[in-house]
Structure formats: C-alpha cells, structure tokens
A and B are shown apart, each in its own frame.
Chain A
C-alpha cells in the first residue's frame, strides 16, 4: 500500500506570494494533520482535519489555512509568505485522528526568498 504522499517535493517562492501544498493520506485514513519543521527544530503542529472538519489548530497566524476534501486529501495554504515560513512541511495521516496512530509523509521543502 502507498504511504502518505505530498506534492510538490520542493518549491521556491518569493516573499508576499502564496503557496498551496498537497497531501494524500494512506488509503482508508480519514484524518490529516499538518506540521511545520523549521531547520534544526522539531515539527510544530499547524492543523488537524478529520472527516473534512477542522479538529485542531496550532499557534499559527491566519495566513495559514487548510481544508480536507471528500476523498480525505488535504491542502495547506499559506498567504503573504514571509522568510520565516521557509521550512519542511509535513503531512501525517491517521485512521481516526488519534495522534498515536500518525503516519508521516516525506514532506514539502518550502524556501521563501
């Protein structure tokens, strides 16, 4: 079975632009979570979605938004990009939304210049 997939793998954006990152969960998983991992730090929680509803939100500004589609895939959107948004963005899926069952994708490396 395929694991969690994320696209694109890498991308470079300019300050002020917006970006959309995509995640496809493991087949049968209904929950997707997003994490930001800045270089040299542990991942930080951004959002969790379960059955297309937002179930949890971390301490991130409103420039960050997400949604989950009927097929349980998800998008993370970031508006008005700042240099500090440069990071590895990780998507994790789980069958039920309980965090001890999370499976991580390879991540999308975002560089903001």
Chain B
C-alpha cells in the first residue's frame, strides 16, 4: 500500500522569502506524485505532477518540486513567496492503474505574512 507523509503541518514565512514544503512517500512499486493547492472554501488545484523523466518538475505559480527516489521524497519549493500563496498544500501519490485512488497527505498550511 502507498502512503504519504507531509512533514510540516504549518509553515509560516515572510513575503519574498523562499519556502520548502516537505513530502515523503512510501510505496513498494513506482508511483506518480502530485502537489495540489487548496485556497479557503475552494476545491483542489493541481500545482504540478511527476510521472516520469526529469526529476525536477516545474508547475504553476512559480512552484517546482524535485523527485528523489532514493529518499522517497517529493519536496515542493518556491524561491520567493507572495501573500497570495497563503493556502493549504497537499502532496499525493497514485499508481498508473485505473480505479486506484489519489492518496493524500494531511496537508501543510503555508502562511505568508508581510
């Protein structure tokens, strides 16, 4: 079975500072990896995904993530955050198999202040 651990429940940062949100996963087989963002009272929006190929994945809103197979990690980074990045961020994994679900971590709350 697959599982996801988001290592930080809350990450407070100042505007224009860099940020890293950490995600580790567990799986005995190859998985696909995702980061989603959820703004208050909204659904989930896909930031980026890793399916195969280059381990550095670039997404929307200036975010990027690096897949590290040996450390089973998929950390999300942004070099300079904005107030508008304040949201809940979810790491997720799935298998490339119809009917298998996205498995989410518990989320990390990113709070950006001025």
Contact = CB atoms under 8 A, between A and B. Distances in A.
B103 A45 contact: yes
A45 B43 contact: no
Nearest to A45: B101
A24 interface: no
Contacts of A43: 44, 90, 102, 104
Given A50-B98, A56-B99, A100 B43 contact: no
Interface residues of A, number: 27
Nearest to B103: A45
Contacts of B42: 106-107
Interface stretch (A11-19, A65-73, A78-86, A91-99): A91-99
Contacts of A48: 99, 101
B101 A42 contact: no
Contacts of A97: 98-99
Given A42-B90, A42-B106, A42-B107, A98 B98 contact: yes
A41 B4 CA distance: 12
B86 interface: no
A11 to B, nearest CB: 15
Nearest to B32: A100
Contact of A107 (B43, B51, B98, B105): B43
30 contacts: A35-B102, A42-B92, A43-B102, A45-B101, A48-B99, A48-B101, A50-B98, A55-B99, A56-B98, A56-B101, A90-B43, A90-B44, A92-B102, A96-B98, A97-B98, A98-B96, A98-B97, A98-B98, A99-B94, A99-B102, A100-B34, A100-B49, A100-B96, A102-B46, A104-B43, A105-B43, A106-B41, A106-B43, A107-B42, A107-B43
Chain A to chain B: the 3 pairs with minimum beta-carbon distance, closest first: A42-B104, A45-B101, A56-B99
